[in-house]
Structure 1
Amino acid sequence: MKYNTDALSTVTLEREVPNEVLSEDTVIHKLGPQDLKTFKQLIEIFKATLEGQSKKEIDEFSLNSMLRHVTFVGYVAMKDDEVIGGLTAYEIRSYYKGESEVILYNLAVSPKYQGKGIGKLLMQTILNFAKEREHSRLFVGAKKQGTAAIDFYRNTGATEYQTAKFVYDL
């Protein structure tokens, strides 16, 4: 497993993933302002794999703005220069010291690469990022109907809370 040196200073897995599952040419890359093309490839994976994702045309202006925004965090898993999965998240600052948080917005892996430890590696990468930035917790939402997502988060160490979610459609 190789890491882009710009992604993280160190990445460790709390749960070891067998070497035969993750090949040496899988790279985790932290998205930056220069990564519009890569980000667009990740959005296409989101559109193809995540239930409820918009099928609308990608807005490049918005993507460029996101890539430059100080609170945006994005990572992609790449194999042979192909985006095979990734995640987007946001840092949320708190009024109080030591209580800032990370919200995981989307995480997906291309169907061809699911079940090979890529999702777990991405999850560990964002958890390590949050710890290094001294955030107090990472939040993620999953639909009750999405049992695969719920199982994934339970299996990667998340604690489940029962909450109500309210949405205003504008």
Structure 2
Amino acid sequence: MPVSISRLTSADIPAMIDLLHIFEAVFEMEDFELPANSYLDKLLSNKDFLVMAARDENGKVLGGLTAYVLPSYYEETAELYLYDLGVSPDAQRQGIGRLLLDSLKDYCKKGKFTEFFVQAVEGDTEAMRFYNATGGKPLRVIHYDYEL
């Protein structure tokens, strides 16, 4: 199946909504409510927020990723934080996640980012297996959350 990867823009709100529903299913999000289209438009217009979608030859969204640009204050460069990557359950195990990750690597190389990184929750063996298989190098860190 031919799959294309593209960055979503504010003109792609329907595709963003499709991707959010994929995330809802993959991440088992309970009581998920879509943000307003005006919010999605603002988000997709932000140059420091990246959404890449994988689509089939008919334009159906099969999966995607979201990432944030983190400008460095040590030097004139940036890093990229991969926030979410998900593929529709019926399209998993077909190489789409790897295509998305490869597209992100290409994007980072062209943008001269120093690195990109992603978190995986300890015990999420599927995510950890995927990131190991695609060349990620695990670092042991302790992540602290502050609920507000």
Interval of TM-score (by shorter of Structure 1 and Structure 2): over 0.9
For 2:35, the aligned partner's letter is: D
Q: Indicate the residue corresponding to 1:63 in structure 2.
A: 40
Q: CA RMSD in A?
A: 1.3
Q: 2: distance between equivalents of 1:166 and 1:109?
A: 27
Q: 2:89 aligns with which of 97, 101, 111?
A: 111
Q: CA deviation at 1:70?
A: 1.4
- Contact persistence 1:87–1:104 (CA under 8 A): yes
Q: CA deviation at 1:127?
A: 1.1
Q: Which runs of 4+ in 1 moved over 6 A?
A: none
- Contact persistence 2:24–2:32 (CA under 8 A): no
Partner secondary structure for residue 11 of structure 2? coil
How has the CA–CA distance of structure 1 residues 62 and 104 changed in structure 2, closer, same or farther, with 3 Å as cutoff?
Answer: same
Structure 1: which 5+ residue stretches go unaligned?
A: 1-22
Q: CA deviation at 1:56?
A: 2.4
Aligned ranges 1:82-121 → 2 under 5 Å: 82-97=60-75, 99-121=77-99
Structure 2: which 5+ residue stretches go unaligned?
A: none
TM-score relative to the length of structure 2: 0.93
- Contact persistence 1:47–1:55 (CA under 8 A): no
For 2:92, the aligned partner's letter is: Q
Q: CA deviation at 1:99?
A: 4.6
Q: CA deviation at 1:89?
A: 0.4
Q: 1: distance between equivalents of 2:77 and 2:112?
A: 9
TM-superposition CA deviations, 1:29-83 (whole Å, max 9, x none): 21011011110100000010025x4632111232211101110111111112210
Partner secondary structure for residue 108 of structure 2? helix
